Amino acid sequence: MKQIFAIAALAAASLSAAPAAAEVTAKSDVGFAVRHQAEIKATPDEVWARLSAPNTYWDPQYSFTGNAANFFLDLQAGGCFCERIREAKGGEIRNSGSVQHMQVVYVEPPKVLRMVGALGPLQSEGVTGTLSIGLKAVTGGTQVTFEYVVGGFMRYPTDDIAPAVDKVIGQQVDRLAKLFDGKAAAPAATAAGKSPAKPAGASQPALAKPAPAKPKALKPDADKPAPK
């Protein structure tokens, strides 16, 4: 079974959603951070309700089954952003497995959702990823921020993987916005090399340079996890 993790083109500019701010905010040999921000013309409660149902906006391209209906999210600490693997047997659809994409570590409706997990082809690497999603009421709607921070050992050069993951995260923000206005927000041009402010109490670890490798694409085969 293959996991589909293609780099998708982002949608056109929206008339009713503010343009998303897109950026690779930090990058080193063994890690990177990406950040996307958009304004949605809906209340934080309305956006939260959609955010908590990934089957309504998370692109099925970035699944193991190719079917968004198999996504589900248990919205509590320790809960799972998971995907059911189903198969037809004897005229019935039965669960035959599952995949954990991320695990919930912090929930504060309708303000903050934080999950940890290595998405897509990063799942087979020695990395961890933290996706922090913030909702803030602003005039006329809600400001939504997605920030995904990845670090650890991986066989993908960050110069290749960081921009690709940046586009994928941005696409999910756009698809979330599209649920409310029918059109996705257009991201700004990616800017690399900037470092975000450190969270309180955070320290900058020393980073070692991994052996060079080049991924063929963001479509690893689940049966052949090692990138070529």
pLDDT recorded at residue 96: 83
List Cβ<8 Å contacts ≥24 apart for 187-190.
187/10, 187/19, 187/20, 187/21, 187/22, 187/36, 188/19, 188/20, 188/21, 188/22, 188/23, 189/22, 190/22, 190/23, 190/24, 190/163, 190/166
Strand partners, 28: 31
d(CA 223, CA 99): 14
pLDDT recorded at residue 50: 97
Point out the residues of the chain with pLDDT beneath 50.
1-19, 183-228
pLDDT recorded at residue 42: 97
- The Cα-based distances of 171 to 22, 79, 103, 111 in angstroms read 10, 24, 21, 21
pLDDT recorded at residue 90: 75
Neighbours of 195 (CB within 10 A): 11
pLDDT, tens only, 100-144: 999 999 999 999 999 999 999 999 999 999 999 999 999 999 999
pLDDT recorded at residue 87: 79
- pTM equals 0.71
pLDDT recorded at residue 21: 58
